[in-house]
Amino acid sequence: MSSSLAPATQGATWRGSSLYTQIMVLTGRSLRSVLLDPKNLLFTLLTPLMMLLLFSQVFSNVANTPGFPKGVSYINFLMPATLVTTALSAAMTAGVGFVNDLRNGVLARFRALPINGGSILAARSLADLVRSAVQLIIMIVAAVAVFGFTPKGFGVAGALLLALIVGWGLGWLFLAVATWMRNPETLQMFTFLAMFPLMFGSSAYMPLDGLPGWMQFVATVNPLTYAIDASRELTLQGTISSTAFTSIGISLVIAAGGMVFAAKGFRRQ
């Protein structure tokens, strides 16, 4: 009988792995569960396409509202914003995986292993980043091929990168919230409530001038507005301005705050 159960003698055991390995292995595990779940995979890939289809059909008349940039088709107006809002929806699910792990005991298993709690959180964030990147790339390709999206040069690559950074930053916020709320239902409620002002109280679907007064105010303090405006500049004009750096700055601040609170929430028992 191979003595496969017993405690290993003299140093033959594994007592821990590097932070890098931990993050990579855990990220791989999260992504694998998406890949292995056809429903999840389909949902991940179809959501952005549905969004595009829906908004381009429903809101195409917005192109006739006052203040709408002249000579811009609605899809070209919509697409840069949809990149950002799709990244936001991915960010909002960052906490879901964490809470599920907590629920089904996987987190307890991890916490009894000689690994760093930070790598569990970092892996979640990284897996969502990868997922989000795949979603956005599919979306850009589909928008160009099917919906007549005509980005100006390679600015769209910059917009993609910007959307990923913003989504990554906000993802930490939602992850932090998850480590404190720890309950799928309350988390979902929070996410739902947070989504509306973030998405619609922004310049995503209408030019600011087309929004009612109080919504204009919400939109001007909404970090997404900066990201969306910068994304439009990048895709429509192929230029980058301070708006882009402002939104990156805001995202980094949100990410840093999120990390601190997530780490705190994680250690809480």
Chain positions contacting other proteins, by CB under 8 A: 2-8, 12-17, 21-22, 25-26, 29, 32-33, 36-37, 101, 104-106, 108-115, 269
Which of residues 97 and 151 has its CB atom nearest to other proteins in the complex?
97
What's the one-letter identity of residue 121?
A: L
The DSSP H or E segment spanning 113 is none
Residue tagged 């619609």 (tokens) = 200
Which of residues 104 and 241 has its CB atom nearest to other proteins in the complex?
104
CA dihedral over 17, 18, 22, 25, signed as positive or negative: negative
Distance linking the first and last C-alpha atoms of the chain: 41
Which of residues 61 and 269 has its CB atom nearest to other proteins in the complex?
269
**Considering the complex, what minimum distance in angstroms separates the CB of residue 36 from other proteins?**
6
How far apart are alpha carbons 98 and 100 in whole angstroms?
5
Question: Residue 53, Cα to own-chain centre: how many angstroms?
Answer: 20
Which of residues 5 and 145 has its CB atom nearest to other proteins in the complex?
5
**Considering the complex, what minimum distance in angstroms separates the CB of residue 118 from other proteins?**
13
Which of residues 59 and 180 has its CB atom nearest to other proteins in the complex?
180
Tokens standing for residue 13? 């055991």
**Considering the complex, what minimum distance in angstroms separates the CB of residue 98 from other proteins?**
13
**Considering the complex, what minimum distance in angstroms separates the CB of residue 8 from other proteins?**
4
CA dihedral over 133, 131, 204, 215, signed as positive or negative: negative
10: left (phi over 0), alpha (psi -120 to 50) or beta: left
CA dihedral over 134, 136, 140, 142, signed as positive or negative: positive
**Considering the complex, what minimum distance in angstroms separates the CB of residue 183 from other proteins?**
17
**Considering the complex, what minimum distance in angstroms separates the CB of residue 38 from other proteins?**
11
SS3 136: helix
**Considering the complex, what minimum distance in angstroms separates the CB of residue 186 from other proteins?**
21
Phi, psi (deg, nearest 5) at residue 146? -110, -40
Which of residues 37 and 209 has its CB atom nearest to other proteins in the complex?
37
How far apart are alpha carbons 171 and 132 in whole angstroms?
11
Of 58, 223, 48, nearest in space to 146 by CA: 48
Which of residues 108 and 253 has its CB atom nearest to other proteins in the complex?
108
